[in-house]
Structure 1
Amino acid sequence: MPTRPRAILATDMDGTLLPLQDDPTHIADLQTLLENLQANDVQVLPVTGRDRAAMIEALQAFRIPAPEVAICDGGTTIVVRNDDGDFDYLPDFQTHLEANFASFATDDVSYLLRDLVDLRFRATEKQNQFKISYFAEAKTLQATVATIQSRLRDSGIDCDVISGFNLHWGEGLVDILPAGLSKAYALQWWLDRSGNDRDQVIFAGDGGNDLEVFLAGYRTIVVGNAEPEIASTVYAAHRTGKTLDRFYLSEARATSGVLEGCRWFELVPPEKRESRSSDPLGAVPVSCNATHFNIWAPYAGRLAIEKQTDGEVQRFRIQPDEDGYFHRTVRGIGGGDRYQISLDDRVSRPDPASRFQPQGVHGPSMVVDHRKYPWHDADYRGVAKSDLVIYEMHFGTFTSEGSYLAAIDRIEELVSLGITAVEVLPLAQCAGSRNWGYDGVQIYAATENYGTPDDFKRFVDACHAAGIAVILDVVYNHLGPEGNYLHDFAPYFSKRHHTPWGDAFNYDGENCESARRFVIENAVYWLREYHLDGLRLDAVHFMFDDSDQPILRSIRHAVTDFASTVDRPIHLIGEANIYDHALVSPTDGTAYDAIWADDIMHAIYSHTVPDINLAHRHYAGASDIEEALQHGYLHTGPKVTRIDSEVRRQMHAEGDFSFLPSLICGLQTHDCVGNHPHGSRFHQLTSTETQRAAIPLLMLYPSIPMIFMGEEYACDAPFMFFVDFGDPRLRRAVDRGRRNEYPHHQWKGAIAPSHDDAFANSKSIQIKDPAIWQWYRDLIALRKTWQRESLLDWKNLSVVCDPARSLFALQYQAPNGRPKFVVSRFSAPADELPPLSLQIDGEVLMQSSVHRDSPTQLTLQNQAVLIGEGTWNLAAGQ
């Protein structure tokens, strides 16, 4: 019978196979690895930058059995073990190098670099005919390498310069080899000579001199201590070549990473563990050819995983436990494979916890290996709550391409504006190719409409590199109407509660524990796998739960536990659009970090466009602006109630306004713009002058400011409500329902949500107003200055308004220095308001539509704002 080809673990030594700094875990893992490799007849082939003597020294120090062959000196020598157990240089390889790299002249290269003070020759035994080896200063290593490369290039000498760090000595290393000669070259030469195939090889490494081998097509283990740039380069090559199944990025360092990678590629047996219902939900790959499934489906008596490959279907049956969980590790399914779940041999459905739906809500799910992505944000420390300036955005309309990757190109623009966090509309997979995102049905799957899961990670990574936090909008009150197959699996939905958009989740009924777990685990999943900085929970007032431990509190506990494991702030935000004292007031650690508060915004709308009501609450114009600015809100919950002074005193004893920094306030949101029948923005309903006058009251308020995409440059494109359902009955129902929800609006000429143009017309990249963009930029910069001065504190704030004159002012008493003020005047653009004269004693910091009559007297027109330092008052006679 033919024998199985012998597997080969080709591995770098320092920083890879060898334990780091005598780490006891690495030492133990090395013995486990060696024992398993020997038991499975795996050949170990060192591929190292060490010379022969140093390699032997390391083998003896760590009691590593002598290999049959080793590649040394960065690929310039090959040694083989002789009958006496010693190592001899392989003369055939030396002859081969002399024939193919004869033009390499070590003396010429050494002479060319003789004056570089940061270079020091290593010992004689580290040099050979085809390698020049130096020590280099670690701090200047990159600059030194650049100088070497420049000199070699200018002199016409074709060489490869390989650099790295010696982990034991903390020094830089530089090797110069003939162009094309490398570890990869030597390994391939050996494989060809010995008759081995590259598919027998798994290569493990960590450094720059491993890069050529990493990119040579072998199955690859990149250990956790590799530089992020190395991991990214290798990942990108495999992604481009569609060979990510041959790439493993270990979280563990050095020796432990090699062991982890060998288990992944099944070179050695996996760690033994029992399958449990407490394992993560959905499909989690545990090796290159095995995936653990955990599916809650008590409604099914029989369940099978159906793997779909080239039109063929393989079925893998799973038995349930007593709690209705079907869990099992299935061999034959790995990352990237597509599958469905067969219920009682009757219907095939996507996985309720699917990580990706490449063919939409009705198609098969895909196994996603989240560990493959090489994150670059290890040094990112997040954004503090007090520093948040949020930019709300929708991926589909943020760029013309409407993708995760295209959005990366606009990050620098957000940085320049002063944005510190982006809040993205929901990404859970929903029906069709265009949607706001609130109709998601697979809440673990980042929608394929904008790209792949790794594409979204690249966006998050790029934001973190720019110092911007990423917050995701999630919907835990209902699922969308198309593609919602959870009813086939289990009692995910309540029999008692209902939302305006569909069935409510079962948070307090029979078997609610598993339904609650499905959502709680999802919240942590997004934060963990996508490195997000926070979640914004949509419509929390429709997350009905009458139990003793409300779901909002359970999510808070889970997110707090996760936050304790990472070195950055995690922001948990609730959205009810009104003030919810129960969310922000607890002192037992269960308070949410922030809540959306829309009362100031809607009060401004009611004053400037009184014939349009974009909320299901009443607002009374200028007087409501005054009250909303004084208190931060007008309505409270859980049932929408206009608060009175007595209730306010009970909730905020002794005028305690410490909740203000937990309110997120903006002049526009996706709701207020999208709920308009034409998707009209604030400046389109009023004027850019009105927008200039109103926005400082929100940007310089002690709450968290939020900007809706396109607002900052008075975007001409509307933002309409749009959906894309495959079911024509659903499309018609949504189109009719939208009009019925806001019957008081003028719907003539409005585009139906299901029409293609509702989405196409909403692209927010059209016609920018640079002047208003600069206005926003200056306001954000001023806000940050006032924050640094500890000015934007509710204790320093006084609100002074004259509703009859449409005058609204914020006054701050500075802890150290002169007071600051924001005086704004605006109303409906058609209103004829007489000018107001102001007396000021101080400095004007920013102004719009203000005329200076004298050094101390100014005239404030309608749609005007004055921001200054010092004091102000209305002139006599006003």
Structure 2
Amino acid sequence: MTEIVVWAPRASRVRVRTGGDDLPMRPAPDGDGWWLGPDLPPGTDYAFVLDDSDQARPDPASRWQPHGVHGPSRVYDQDAYPWQDGRWRGRDLTSAVVYELHVGTFTPGGTFSAATERLDHLVGLGITHVELLPVNAVNGVWNWGYDGVGWYAVHAPYGGPDGLKRFVDACHARGLAVLLDVVYNHLGPSGNYLPEFGPYLKSGRNTWGELVNVEEPAVRRFVIDNALMWLRDYHVDGLRLDAVHALQDSSPVHLLAELAGEVDALSKAAGRPLSLIAESDLNDPVMITPPPAGYGLAAQWDDDVHHALHAALTGERQGYYCDFGPLSVLAKTFTCAFLHDGTYSTFRGKDWGRPVDPAATAGWRFVVCLQNHDQVGNRAVGDRLPELVPPALLRVGAVLLLTSPFTPMLWMGEEWAASTRWPFFTSHPEPELARITAEGRVAEFAEHGWDVRQMIDPQDPAAHREAILDWDELASAEHRAMLELYRALIALRAAEPDLHDADLTRVAVDYDEDARWLVVHRGRFRVAANLGDSSAQLALAAREVVFSTGAVDLALDSITIGPQTAAIVRV
């Protein structure tokens, strides 16, 4: 049996609607807006009725929404699932290779069960951590996941709470850690009934909507308890915290620091590493600096490395790529993590960021990529890198990414140069919301300089269908060749300590801006990349070519590397 409780300080009367009856709830003895109700058995549907309204609302902390975000909640017994991962001791990020995937488009089945059938592919690739885009309850059937309103409930079309547990169990059985993307900076546009219960939101807006009121103690607890739930009850190994720069908190102890402290305590109690990874636009090492000077998170996404790689490979300079592209920028990001570390950002029109101390900050604390859901999906048509650069440069990019001093992350399908686009898609049932979503997306893309004429309507079911990976592409020799390249690079990275060494003070980069080549120093190895259209002779005494994507000739004190070619040589 589960006691039904709810925080509803804005209500003067609360009832539980279940089995056709409205049962009264009583205020908690100590007040603070909590209401106590009856004990209900697992599997019971229930909802709340506030004051004199006749409208039933789902539980703000519902663990199960089988009828969608507007329907009643269902009592879920967290302890009933028979876990099989008792020997799992977790994996930290120190030698991680992360694979980001969206459950709904990773396979045609679009469920946890279907995704499980592809886990052996990830093991064979050399992946250590699977990162899921948000899986909490959202409006409609398909969605990226960032329109979540049921923060505690697992999206029913994916397989619900037991489906997620089975997926995590299956990952752990294969030695894969699981990271989960969670969103605490905003709520979705439909199904958000939280303001009817209490002050979950406060005045002001960020990019995606009204601000979450994390300075209110009960809301703060709502966020922290949610994070602990995923780590404790679902055995997830870490959380990627979406857009933490949109969390406005003037509390003496920032929400992120408080969360990191409680997660560290849970990690010690559970006997396995638990990682918090921030997505932050601030370029501020405060995220990963230990307390009391910083928040003490394990890692943060580093968009500057992505932008430097993307702009160098594609030549794009629009929008936020405007300061990126020169090899000098790539050299700085590979040695200092950030381009903008107090320097002027043309895109933002102001000085931005703070410097990283390479001697005190391990490179693995920065998660970097060639592609991810944002950098693909936030293009007007969702085109991936293979549409933008030739295969030879794709291979060069893979070599640079997978020999970098950072934590590399792949976007699903990247390893075989998937041709499927991944456009923005939604399935809001409300026609007016569907129209507003489509119009808003067009305006946003136009503002960033994208050509929106070929953009597909996010509400068109074809947008979702187009995003589903085509696994049949692996039958193609061209796609298989790219897969083998990724497998070989990941295996080489794992086997050679110098190639996953996270000491940024040991990284140096030589480059020639005009000839478009660079050489990254990685211990006993040199990673040479020629992005130009002509062969390049480099003053480099190499004993052995360990890996190459094209023609490389060794001489006594130099190597000649073909156009659009990368090579890893031992010196």
Aligned residue in 2 for 1:731: 434
Aligned residue in 1 for 2:184: 476
TM superposition score normalised by structure 2: 0.93
Cα distance, 1:325–1:450 mapped onto 2, change above 3 Å: same
2:337–2:356: 8 Å Cα contact kept in structure 1?
no
Report the secondary structure of 1:454's partner residue.
helix
- Equivalences for residues 135-284 of structure 1 within 5 A: none
Aligned residue in 2 for 1:805: 515
| C-alpha separation in 1, matches of 2:437 and 2:230 | 29
Cα distance, 1:853–1:505 mapped onto 2, change above 3 Å: closer
Task: Write out per-residue CA displacement over residues 731-766 of structure 1, whole angstroms, 9 at most, x where no aligned residue.
Answer: 122212112212111122221111111110111134
Instruction: Work out whether 1:543 is the aligned partner of 2:253.
Output: no
Aligned residue in 1 for 2:260: 556
Task: Write out per-residue CA displacement over residues 456-512 of structure 1, whole angstroms, 9 at most, x where no aligned residue.
Answer: 1000000001010000000000000000000110000012x311111111123xxx1
Letter in 1 for 2:186: H
Instruction: Work out whether 1:324 is the aligned partner of 2:33.
Output: yes
Cα distance, 1:748–1:612 mapped onto 2, change above 3 Å: farther
Instruction: Work out whether 1:658 is the aligned partner of 2:361.
Output: yes
Instruction: Work out whether 1:834 is the aligned partner of 2:534.
Output: yes
2:103–2:158: 8 Å Cα contact kept in structure 1?
yes
Aligned residue in 1 for 2:233: 529
Cα distance, 1:456–1:723 mapped onto 2, change above 3 Å: same
Displacement of 1:665: 0.5
Higher relative contact order (CA 8 A, sep 6+): 2
Aligned residue in 2 for 1:503: 210
Cα distance, 1:774–1:490 mapped onto 2, change above 3 Å: same
Letter in 1 for 2:252: D
Letter in 1 for 2:82: P
Displacement of 1:611: 3.9
Displacement of 1:442: 0.7
Letter in 2 for 1:401: G
Report the secondary structure of 1:764's partner residue.
coil
Aligned residue in 2 for 1:162: none
Letter in 2 for 1:634: L
| C-alpha separation in 2, matches of 1:638 and 1:307 | 59
Displacement of 1:787: 3.0
Match of 2:50 among 318, 333, 343: 343
Report the secondary structure of 1:388's partner residue.
coil
Aligned residue in 2 for 1:108: none
- Equivalences for residues 643-722 of structure 1 within 5 A: 651-652=355-356, 656=359, 658-722=361-425
Task: Write out per-residue CA displacement over residues 666-716 of structure 1, whole angstroms, 9 at most, x where no aligned residue.
Answer: 111100111111111112111221110012222111111100000000011
Report which of the two structures shows the higher radius of gyration computed on alpha carbons.
Answer: 1
Cα distance, 1:840–1:850 mapped onto 2, change above 3 Å: farther
- Equivalences for residues 77-476 of structure 1 within 5 A: 287=1, 291-308=2-19, 313-321=20-28, 322-328=31-37, 330-331=38-39, 333-346=40-53, 347-476=55-184
| C-alpha separation in 2, matches of 1:657 and 1:800 | 23
Letter in 2 for 1:336: G
TM superposition score normalised by structure 1: 0.61
The two structures, once aligned, show a CA RMSD in angstroms of 2.4
Aligned residue in 2 for 1:825: 530
Match of 2:458 among 719, 730, 753: 753
Instruction: Work out whether 1:633 is the aligned partner of 2:343.
Output: no
Match of 1:784 among 463, 488, 494: 494
Cα distance, 1:651–1:675 mapped onto 2, change above 3 Å: closer
Letter in 2 for 1:685: L
| C-alpha separation in 1, matches of 2:131 and 2:176 | 10
Letter in 1 for 2:335: Q
| C-alpha separation in 1, matches of 2:455 and 2:347 | 32
Letter in 1 for 2:9: P
More displaced 10-residue stretch of structure 1: 512-521 or 586-595:
586-595
| C-alpha separation in 2, matches of 1:636 and 1:742 | 27
Displacement of 1:660: 2.0
Indicate the percent of aligned positions where both proteins have the same amino acid. Answer: 36
Report the secondary structure of 1:725's partner residue.
coil
1:606–1:613: 8 Å Cα contact kept in structure 2?
no
| C-alpha separation in 1, matches of 2:558 and 2:329 | 29
Letter in 2 for 1:519: V
Report the secondary structure of 2:394's partner residue.
helix
| C-alpha separation in 1, matches of 2:119 and 2:344 | 39
Displacement of 1:433: 0.8
| C-alpha separation in 1, matches of 2:356 and 2:383 | 37
Aligned residue in 2 for 1:774: 484
Displacement of 1:314: 2.1
Match of 1:861 among 562, 566, 569: 562
Report the secondary structure of 1:557's partner residue.
helix
| C-alpha separation in 2, matches of 1:699 and 1:428 | 31
Task: Write out per-residue CA displacement over residues 218-264 of structure 1, whole angstroms, 9 at most, x where no aligned residue.
Answer: xxxxxxxxxxxxxxxxxxxxxxxxxxxxxxxxxxxxxxxxxxxxxxx
| C-alpha separation in 2, matches of 1:842 and 1:630 | 25
Displacement of 1:616: 7.5
Letter in 2 for 1:667: L
1:631–1:657: 8 Å Cα contact kept in structure 2?
no
Task: Write out per-residue CA displacement over residues 832-872 of structure 1, whole angstroms, 9 at most, x where no aligned residue.
Answer: x32112454311111012243768764322221010111xx
Cα distance, 1:612–1:730 mapped onto 2, change above 3 Å: farther
1:602–1:614: 8 Å Cα contact kept in structure 2?
no
Cα distance, 1:622–1:638 mapped onto 2, change above 3 Å: closer
Letter in 1 for 2:35: F
1:614–1:675: 8 Å Cα contact kept in structure 2?
no
Report the secondary structure of 1:536's partner residue.
strand
Aligned residue in 2 for 1:597: 302
Task: Write out per-residue CA displacement over residues 258-287 of structure 1, whole angstroms, 9 at most, x where no aligned residue.
Answer: xxxxxxxxxxxxxxxxxxxxxxxxxxxxx3
| C-alpha separation in 2, matches of 1:864 and 1:682 | 17
| C-alpha separation in 2, matches of 1:507 and 1:295 | 18
More displaced 10-residue stretch of structure 1: 838-847 or 784-793:
784-793
Report the secondary structure of 1:419's partner residue.
coil
| C-alpha separation in 2, matches of 1:754 and 1:617 | 31
| C-alpha separation in 2, matches of 1:449 and 1:725 | 14
| C-alpha separation in 1, matches of 2:529 and 2:507 | 15
1:786–1:792: 8 Å Cα contact kept in structure 2?
no
Cα distance, 1:577–1:823 mapped onto 2, change above 3 Å: farther
Aligned residue in 1 for 2:553: 852
Displacement of 1:639: 11
| C-alpha separation in 2, matches of 1:561 and 1:433 | 36
1:606–1:619: 8 Å Cα contact kept in structure 2?
yes
Cα distance, 1:637–1:581 mapped onto 2, change above 3 Å: farther
Report the secondary structure of 2:496's partner residue.
helix
| C-alpha separation in 2, matches of 1:340 and 1:668 | 41
Cα distance, 1:552–1:791 mapped onto 2, change above 3 Å: closer
Letter in 2 for 1:461: D
Question: Structure 2: 5+ residue runs without aligned partners?
Answer: none
2:541–2:555: 8 Å Cα contact kept in structure 1?
no
- Spell out structure 1 runs of 4+ moving beyond 4 A: 636-643, 650-653, 788-792, 853-858
Letter in 2 for 1:367: V
Cα distance, 1:789–1:804 mapped onto 2, change above 3 Å: closer
